[in-house]
Structure 1
């Protein structure tokens, strides 16, 4: 697999999966920034294991999460499900790290690579020691389990610093009873076994009990531990539901003629897998019409249908689908379109991933030169021919000075930087975008550029109806017919020659294409305006140097790109410039020295 074969990855947290030619997941990872992390596998400095994974893989899948905690939980779930070769089976399990809760009066949680039949409780294997240490540190920050005093525990003369910080019950100095300590051990076990809800319930019960005895200081301790557990484990997030439910939930996203459906599988309260489909011919389809072929295709093959399936908002015939799912599962299956609560949060997650996945697929089409935006734009704007070659125009000035225009060219959805052009607007002493747009269009199609550059299929004007009218007037004066569109920044509104306003979602391929062209034209125009202002400022300073006339100023400006460069240059370097000479060079050095 090469970097060019990667999907367009978002800069968000999530889990990624490398898949080989047999469709087998060979590695599962997590990242705070998916794009940065996955790209690191293809760098020259990548580790040998990363290079081997890339060599074996032929494609990559990813799931976006809210944050790193969700990504960590999802990574763990997927590793348990797929048991990827490079996550678990690269070494024998006995060499993998485990957490061990010792069997003694006051147990301690320790790191080990050996699982023995000694009556202790073992948790793992973890994919690496880093993941294990994170869990160990998390437990130490929430549960006041002892962290030292040996195995078995040795008595001490005085308590350690953790006791004074409120993070240990200090059994080593007889500060707690075996019964009180056992409660903490049970909470740790529940946490390590994934029963986070049990851990929370125990903490909340202890909090209420302490409060009923008016021991509010102790109640506050239990409250803080419960809050820390929720925050640090992502218990209240989409990825970690402790209710133990089995369900599927679906997300949907549409963009013009394309759509994406994603289905997430939740088993025992944990997201363990995902399926997705990229669909075309969806421009006039309802949500139900997009979901129905997917549901049939997926569930006719599914070996297991959960008791609950959540759908995004649609006009699905739930009575029909109720019969379909009941017959497939041989039992009652609940179908639901959530309106509120945590189930709605799950749908939001699925829709978010569907939207990100659709954008990635569209970007891949553009990368391959299939230009979905071109066909979509033809249909959206009712153009006679596909706008394969598009020229974008923008105007830039500062308080009416140094007004310039840019022309950018996109061919099949891709920029053609070698064909970009820039113009200085003449005959203008105040800001006037309409005049400037008329001039640049007129000069483009009446001067030398008309002979040098091919005639475009469409002109995109950055601005509203006024700028569009000015451009159209210039074409009319030249008796040239080329379709025109304007793009106003307000709500990214597309404006046609007939002054019709078209508003579509920003994910629409046609609008994506127009925004890319408009932004590129704006970037070029603003950059050229800044350069012109800088040159004018430099020229005005040089005019104050005695003995340096227009020709010598032009020579200096042609050689140096800024005043700072002239200041730093040596006398001999300035004198060596053709047309300057030593006398003028001395004048330049003396001027800046003073």
Structure 2
């Protein structure tokens, strides 16, 4: 019997849904909001194909999921599994999206519609095919490569966003040519650095890590989240036993990144994302108020870092978060002018003093300085010299993962703080580091070009 109306119990959550005729799946879709999406199938004048689908289906099933990314991957998994009739009728195969992963020591990743004409087997959508890649975004050498395709995915924008997030967790190369020096992406942590170097293949350890990153990205896109998390947690325990703490911290960051991916809903429902962010910020704000022993509201937080190589082309950054979210229009960069030796402490002092030459930028509630006690004291001196009062100040030591406060003798370990607050501090620190490095790299490039001309 055809379905006449939307089931009342359909939830207002992300997920995937299946129209079935008896036991046979005839259509699979994903939704930001299952109830709203399913309701659209029961509107008048929905279209001939939707009316045909509704008349043929005898029941609707759905799976509630935590995020749009999880829904995107689950939808792809179910389309591969069932090859539903109406997914073919309602969407030309050329409108599906695939993630291509090339072979080789440093594989490339790209998004494409079907780049070669091939029939998709009923049992398996993941295809290995030899062809010349013509995709303008890849521009690989014109020889035949074996490329693996993962898909189909129905949303190119959601897939692109997913890969952007995955790249922050598992950096991979997007460079179109080889370089003699590490690229900008390597400087900001989006690339391992060896993958696009002319002699990068000589770094065997880096090549192994790169392959591991590609394997992990493949696992996420294929929906093997639980398996991957289990592998990473076991690896983290093993390296921790060997006292390889830096590697253990890197693995912990990857685990947290994957877990956060499947909670990521920002591009599904902006209103819901803002409501959730505001709620999270209130919790973070209360923790910060407790740390500093204050009841004042904390709306604007600024993060500072400096970047240089042997004191050359030294730069400083100021990044701004308002109510816990980056406010990139308020970011500022500084070219260090008064410090000519290698001294992060003096550079921080200069940046803070120059920042407070600009009251029109607004007065922050909280300053977070990259560094320990020396950098914190330098910032405190700068505030005193500029006669700035009432601004909370803290130092974030990256190597030890510690938080320094002016009124406390001993630092606070970041992992002892509530998770939301710990992640916020790390986010500010990492973003200020990225922004300073980016400007430093730009100045180096300008200097290099000028020297080349001469």
TM-score, normalised to structure 1's length?
0.34
TM-score, normalised to structure 2's length?
0.43
Structure showing greater radius of gyration is 1
* Higher relative contact order, chain-length normalized (CA < 8 Å, sep 6+): 2
